[in-house]
Chains A and B, each alone.
Chain A
Amino acid sequence: WQRRVLHDEL
């Protein structure tokens, strides 16, 4: 589970 809090998709 990759932690990625900045979501760049819609």
Chain B
Amino acid sequence: MNIFRLFGDLSHLAAIIILLLKIWKSRSCAGISGKSQILFAIVFTTRYLDLLTSFISLYNTSMKMIYIGCSYATVYLIYAKFRATYDGNHDSFRVEFLIVPVGGLAVLINHDFSLLEILWTFSIYLESVAILPQLFMISKTGEAETITTHYLFCQGLYRALYLINWIWRFYFEGFFDMIAIVAGVVQTILYCDFFYLYVTKVLKGKKLSLPA
């Protein structure tokens, strides 16, 4: 465990909790893509099935359970408790266009052709594109609430820190996982455009709104 990995995990945790608290405190999930949140719940579920088969550390186990628990809580708030505030008309990204190719790719390119390993690979590929419905929603409405942009920033920061973590691990441990690295690079690239808007607008106190 290096500091980049630790702060990456904490940034990921911060993103998840920011979103959960935002919805809970405002009693509204307006502007949040329920589809992205369902995809993240699928990502955590399929990736952390190894909770049942292998123990790595108390840290590892507890973080996995927190991620899974929070992601299901978020989906529950969006689709059940605060369903009336869910902006379904703008959340129109076709997720089957992500799930089907990602599933096919996981079957074709994986470390080991076993059920758990294919599901793990599926979760890695799916995570790299799971934010697309959220970004699509922002591009449709043309704006995002500031707290939503903080959520996205923490998600992107988590990815960037994981990239540094992999460089670190490659140099100091000789470890690399090509599937995670390629998917992680793709995922980080998806946030670049958003990072630019975040730095040039949100950090200067302006609301994130896209030119018409």
Q: Which residues of A contact B (CB under 8 A)?
A: 1-10
Contact = CB atoms under 8 A, between A and B. Distances in A.
A2 B9 contact: no
A6 to B, nearest CB: 6
A8 B116 CA distance: 15
Contact of A8 (B47, B60, B117): B60
B50 interface: yes
A2 B56 contact: no
Interface of B: 5, 9, 12, 47, 50, 54, 56, 60, 63-64, 67, 111-112, 114, 116-117, 120, 162, 165, 176-180
Given A1-B111, A3-B112, A4-B111, A9 B117 contact: no
Contacts of B64: 10
Contacts of A6: 50, 54, 56
A7 B43 CA distance: 15
A8 B111 contact: no
B62 to A, nearest CB: 11
A4 B54 CA distance: 13
Contacts of A2: 111, 176-178
Given A1-B179, A5-B116, A10-B63, 9 more contacts: A2-B177, A3-B112, A5-B114, A5-B117, A6-B50, A7-B120, A8-B56, A10-B9, A10-B64
